């Protein structure tokens, strides 16, 4: 409502009738809402320098990582050498203290010499150590038909024997060449059967072995007492080819024809006696088991020929 008084105008506003749903109860709440509604700029805190302890820790970690990578890149020997050098540098000492005692070291040859036997009678199940297994495996590779002898001390009646190796078998040592260790004669060789007596594991043992020697070495072998010459063993008939069987059959037929001609050329009395005896033989043959005829193949004939030649 406007009133005119003394030439001036005054505006009177009545606020009692006005109200708002968004009115605030207090001025403090009004300020709080105004602050939270607006996007506030984050304050930058001052960055401090790290402490010396943190710097030392990080440096040690980095150095440890570098040394570890370098250590793992070395081979086993270089790594061992570096560790020994570091120990001597930091703790002191002498290099001689790190030398390994090699007085008890053994090679495969030493193990074989300690556990070697001239004859093995034990089965593989009874061999309880790896040393014996190694010696047994070496013994299995030796050739045990003929022996090699050491006659250097024959005057003392001391003779050494051993089996032949593969190299000696290839060159014929002990069979086509004199079996003496220091002799290379290959003519007029004689086969001998020797009862070889030896001491093994504090036990006296004997073994019958064959030895082929030249005349001079044979005299050394028989210096104290005479040995017996080896005899060629009869070999059983083995399966041969059809050609060998045909040749044996032809030879047998020829022998039978020759025998029949000789029987016809005898006088009558002898023929009668032979008939009587043949009848008796025939009767005995039919009554008893059939006789076994031992036939020789070509291989057996060659072996007999070589045995006679080398004796």
Is residue 66 classed as helix, strand or coil in its secondary structure?
Answer: helix
Please check the confidence at residue 166 and state whether its pLDDT lies above 70: yes
Q: What values do phi and psi take at 268, rounded to 5?
A: -65, -40
For residue 228, being part of any structural domain is answered with yes
Quote the CA–CA distance of 45 and 142 in Å, as a whole number: 91
Do residues 229 and 302 both lie within one domain? Answer: yes
Q: Is the pLDDT of residue 205 over 50?
A: yes
**90 and 181 in one domain?**
no
* Out of 54-63, 176-185, 243-252, least confident range: 243-252
Instruction: Give, as one character, the DSSP assignment of residue 82.
Output: H
The mean-pLDDT minimum among 14-18, 48-52, 90-94 falls in 14-18
Instruction: Report the number of distinct structural domains present in the chain.
Output: 3
Same domain, 161 and 78: no
DSSP tag of 92 = -
Q: Give the residue-averaged pLDDT of 167-174.
A: 93
- Claim to verify: residue 191 and residue 309 sit in the same structural domain: yes
Q: What pLDDT score does 309 carry?
A: 56
Strand, coil or helix: 12: coil
Same domain as 307, residue 219? yes
Residue 99 has what pLDDT?
A: 81
The whole-number pLDDT of residue 240 equals 47
Q: Which residues on neighbouring strands pair with residue 164, listed in sequence order?
A: 143
- Give the rounded percent of residues in the chain with a pLDDT score beyond 70: 58
196 and 186 in contact (C-beta within 8 Å)?
Answer: no
Q: How confident is the model at residue 101, as a pLDDT?
A: 82
Q: What is the sign of the dihedral through the CA atoms of 16, 17, 21 and 22?
A: negative
Domain hosting residue 134, numbered range? 107-141
Asked if the structure places residue 266 within a domain, the reply is: no
**164 in a structural domain:** yes
Same domain, 181 and 198: yes
Is residue 133 in some structural domain? yes
Helix (H, G, I), strand (E, B) or coil at 190: strand
Q: Which of 149, 156, 141 is nearest to 211 (CA)?
A: 149
Task: Between 267 and 190, name the one with better pLDDT.
Answer: 190
One domain, residues 74 and 214: no
- CB proximity list for 108: less than 8 A, separation 6 or greater: 134
CA distances from 222 to 153, 161, 175, 228, 264 (A): 13, 15, 19, 10, 54
State the burial class of residue 139 (Cβ atoms within 10 Å of its Cβ: 0-12, 13-18, 19+): middle
Question: Please, how many CA atoms are within 13 Å of residue 234, restricted to the half-sphere of its CB?
Answer: 5
* pLDDT tier, 306 (very low <50, low <70, confident <90, very high otherwise): low
Same domain? 89 vs 233: no
Q: Do 163 and 233 sit in the same domain of this protein? A: yes
Mean pLDDT value across the chain? 76
User: In this structure, are 220 and 82 located in the same domain?
Assistant: no
Domain membership of residue 100 (yes or no) is no
Domain edge (last residue) among 81, 116, 141: 141
Distances (CA, A) of 174 to 92, 185, 195, 216, 262: 62, 10, 17, 15, 47
Does residue 30 fall inside a structural domain? no
| Model pLDDT, residue 51 | 86
pLDDT band, very low/low/confident/very high, at 66 (cuts 50, 70, 90)? very high
| Residues 185 and 232 occupy one common structural domain | yes
Across the range 41-52, mean pLDDT stands at 73
Tokens for 51, please give them.
Answer: 């402490």
């Amino acid at each position: 409502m406007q009133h005119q008084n003394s030439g001036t105008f005054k505006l009177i506003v009545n606020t009692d009738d006005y109200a708002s749903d968004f009115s605030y109860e207090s001025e403090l709440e009004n300020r709080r809402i105004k602050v939270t509604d607006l996007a506030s700029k984050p304050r930058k805190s001052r960055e401090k320098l790290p402490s010396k302890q943190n710097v030392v820790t990080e440096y040690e970690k980095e150095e440890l990582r570098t040394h570890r990578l370098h250590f793992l890149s070395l081979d086993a020997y270089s790594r061992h050498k570096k560790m020994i050098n570091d120990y001597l540098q930091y703790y002191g000492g002498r290099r001689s203290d790190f030398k390994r005692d090699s007085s008890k070291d053994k090679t495969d040859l030493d193990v074989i010499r300690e556990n070697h036997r001239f004859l093995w009678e034990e089965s593989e199940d009874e061999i309880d150590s790896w040393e014996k297994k190694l010696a047994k495996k070496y013994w299995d590779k030796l050739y045990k038909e003929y022996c090699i002898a050491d006659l250097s001390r024959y005057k003392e009646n001391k003779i050494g024997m051993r089996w032949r190796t593969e190299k000696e078998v290839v060159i014929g040592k002990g069979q086509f060449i004199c079996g003496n260790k220091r002799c290379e004669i290959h003519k007029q060789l004689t086969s001998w059967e020797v009862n070889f007596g030896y001491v093994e594991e504090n036990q006296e043992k004997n073994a019958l072995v064959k030895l082929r020697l030249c005349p001079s070495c044979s005299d050394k072998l028989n210096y104290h007492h005479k040995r017996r010459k080896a005899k060629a063993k009869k070999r059983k008939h083995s399966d041969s080819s059809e050609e060998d069987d045909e040749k044996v059959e032809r030879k047998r037929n020829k022998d039978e024809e020759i025998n029949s001609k000789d029987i016809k050329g005898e006088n009558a009395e002898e023929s009668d006696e032979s008939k009587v005896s043949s009848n008796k033989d025939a009767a005995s043959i039919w009554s008893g088991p059939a006789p076994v005829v031992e036939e020789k193949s070509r291989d057996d004939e060659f072996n007999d020929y070589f045995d006679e030649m080398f004796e």
